[in-house]
Chain A
Amino acid sequence: MPPQENRNTILPDHNHDGVDRRGFLKCMAWAGTGALCVLRGGVLKSYALNDISGVRKAAKGDLSFVQISDSHMGFNKAANPDVVATLKIAVDKIQALAVPPEFLLHTGDITHLSKPSEFDTVNQILQSASTKEVFFVPGEHDVLEDNGKQYLELYGKNTKGAGWYSFDKKGVHFIGLVNVMNLKAGGMGSLGTEQLEWLEDDVRHLSKSTPMVLFAHMPLWNIYPEWGWGTEDSAQALSYLKRFGSVTVLNGHIHQTMQKVEGSITFHTATSTAFPQPHPGAAPSPGPMKVPAERLRGLLGMTDVNYVRKHHALALIDSTLE
């Protein structure tokens, strides 16, 4: 049953031909308040979180997973002196979901300073969730000092290169990419030739009707190059995915929700469970944003993703920790 449309609904396309080829930023208005986005054949419809009851029901499908990001374990500055507490709240929210997620995705910056104790703490908190399977990709804070050696020891099983891999869940093909290694002066995130070649090969034999989910820490679209919020060679990576009918790209790094649709590709960034960062260009730097304590939990959160096989659709629901 399709969700009931109402005044809170943003429809990117009123001709019902399902296409807005130029690409657009529609969901930005919801940043910080949470949004539900339903993707149908590459077209996004978004709904304010205050009216998702009907949509939740419609989105209840074959596959459900939750994306969390940027837990920055070890961070203890004014923007959030207790990142343990906020990660625990995220886990509580996951436990309370009407549709239990099949697995969790953590899109990097698990830790703040790559300390073994920080990785330990996150793993312990996540183990308290009833969902035991967790997939990771590293953020730049997870590969400090040792070029990612420790990260690979902890999470690198069954991965290639610096930790990239793919897997299939109920007909959906997931690809975890690493774009935080070997960064060049003046540049942004980087995938590198070896990983790009692997990606091209990984998707070569898949049917174009296979729903694809790509996830990486830094955005795979250029959100704000002035702050390094993008990936140098992401266009090359996405060119291998153009023939697929439904591609969803999930990132973290910028500690706020943002979405864009370009053809059949929907881009989505998740909030942090640790601290918010300013909107692009809204502050002198992308450093942690200090907000009054009572506002903090409203700016932290996670993303619940549901794939409805019958409708060939992915629904993304951002929720805050409030």
Chain B
Amino acid sequence: MKKRNWILCVTTAIVMALPALTPFEKTVAAGPPTVDIKIDNFSFTPPMLTVKAGTKVTWTNGDDIPHNVASEDQSFKSKVLDTDEKFTFTASKPGTYSYFCSIHPKMTGKVVVE
């Protein structure tokens, strides 16, 4: 048992030290949680999403037409996203963020941060 605890301890230390190591090993490190929202066919998928505070939310535009992502309370607004361009918002503050594409305002979505 003692030996196992020791191994666990060393492993934890290595994992915690990883971000400070070479870029080669960096990929192993776990960052903040991430979620993806797809923009396809003039809609956000999923249209509603609940995430933990600190989550990185990334929108990717899969349409042939540019879109953007703008929260109604103006806490975030992306630049215009052409095809395959992305926008990331770190949801640090709990609350409900209703957002829409201000170019095509029929496109709406919601991110709930817990």
Contact = CB atoms under 8 A, between A and B. Distances in A.
Interface stretch (B8-16, B24-32, B98-106): B98-106
Interface string A163-190: 0000000000000000000011111100
A257 to B, nearest CB: 21
Interface residues of A, number: 24
A117 B43 CA distance: 29
B65 A287 contact: yes
A228 interface: yes
Interface in B85-113: 98-100, 102-106, 108
A284 B41 contact: yes
Given A287-B41, A287-B42, A287-B63, A113 B80 contact: yes
A186 B110 CA distance: 12
B40 to A, nearest CB: 8
A252 to B, nearest CB: 15
A55 B102 CA distance: 43
Given A284-B41, A286-B42, A228 B66 contact: no
B43 A285 contact: yes
B103 A144 contact: yes
Interface string B48-87: 0000000000000001111010001000000110110000
A140 interface: yes
A157 B98 CA distance: 37
A145 interface: yes
A260 interface: no
A78 interface: yes
Contacts of A185: 72, 98-100, 105, 108
A228 B100 contact: no
Given A184-B105, A284-B41, A288-B64, A145 B100 contact: no
Contacts of A288: 64-65
A144 B103 CA distance: 8
A114 B80 CA distance: 10
A191 to B, nearest CB: 14
A183 B67 CA distance: 13
A141 interface: yes
B23 to A, nearest CB: 34
A311 interface: no
A278 to B, nearest CB: 11
A184 B68 CA distance: 13
A144 B43 contact: no
Contacts of B79: 145
B31 to A, nearest CB: 30
Contact of A183 (B65, B82, B105): B105
Interchain residue pairs A-B with the least CB separation, the first 9:
A285-B41, A185-B100, A285-B42, A228-B106, A77-B64, A183-B105, A284-B41, A144-B80, A187-B105
13 contacts: A77-B83, A78-B64, A112-B66, A114-B80, A144-B80, A183-B103, A183-B105, A184-B105, A185-B99, A185-B105, A287-B42, A287-B63, A287-B65
Interface of A: 77-79, 112-114, 140-141, 144-145, 183-188, 226-228, 284-288
Given A186-B105, A288-B64, 19 more contacts: A77-B83, A113-B66, A140-B104, A141-B103, A144-B68, A144-B103, A184-B105, A185-B72, A185-B105, A185-B108, A187-B105, A187-B106, A188-B105, A226-B106, A228-B104, A228-B106, A285-B42, A286-B42, A287-B65
